[in-house]
Amino acid sequence: MTNHIVLYQPEIPQNTGNIARTCVGTGAILDIIKPMKFEINDHNVKRAGLDYWDKLQLVFHDSLEDFMATVQDRDRLHLITKFADTTYSDRDLSATDGEQYFMFGKETTGLPEPFLREYADRCLRIPMTDGIRALNLSNCAALVIYEALRQQNFAGLERVHAYPHDKLK
């Protein structure tokens, strides 16, 4: 299974940098749908992603339509939005073949409403109180990708990491 984290017109460089680092750590591909409010060479993006940029699988799309043309199986597209009835952990994300996409909207306005309505059956929600507009984008991406990986039995991930004994002394 190839998991993708998809960012629709990201606005905050630090979020994108954090998500890039999460993608490297989980083996996910980062898809970015333009336009963006910053450049990938922006100091804050590089700082948040640390020195992992050369390990990141990054794909740019010029528009939402261009991105959608690359999605072969729309049943594997998951739109993360607070305007959903289904909780992300209640969706079966355990498929171990093909590609799976987790799409997140702009930090300020989310995904376009007409797009959400067209794919209403693909929308997933992260539960939260009504005391905030939204959770942090990079936190949401981490929650969702790790739920998918949990359901996939953390395929391809190192479950135990042993340090050399001499480094523990």
Tell the burial category of 52 from Cβ atoms under 10 Å away from its Cβ (0-12, 13-18, 19+). Answer: middle
Segment 74-90 shows an average pLDDT of 96
The CATH code of the domain that includes 44 is 3.40.1280.10
Q: Can you give the pLDDT at residue 39?
A: 83
How far apart, in whole angstroms, are the C-alpha atoms of residue 140 and residue 6? 12
Task: Summarize pLDDT for 131-149 with one digit per residue, the tens.
Answer: 998 999 999 999 999 999 9
Give the strand pairing for 123-124 and 77-80: parallel
Per-residue model confidence (pLDDT) at position 166: 55
Q: For a pLDDT cut of 90, what percent of the chain falls above it? A: 74
Distance between CA atoms of 137 and 145, rounded to whole angstroms? 12
Binding site, annotated residues: 80, 105, 126
| Binding site residue list for S-adenosyl-L-methionine | 80, 105, 126
Closest C-alpha among 1, 70, 81 to residue 31? 70
Number of domains in the chain: 1
Q: Is 151 exposed, middle or buried (0-12, 13-18, 19+ CB in 10 A)?
A: middle
Asked if the model's pLDDT at residue 167 lies above 80, the reply is: no
How far apart CA 74 and CA 81 sit, in angstroms, is 17
What global pTM score does this model have?
Answer: 0.92
Q: Which domain holds residue 55?
A: 2-168
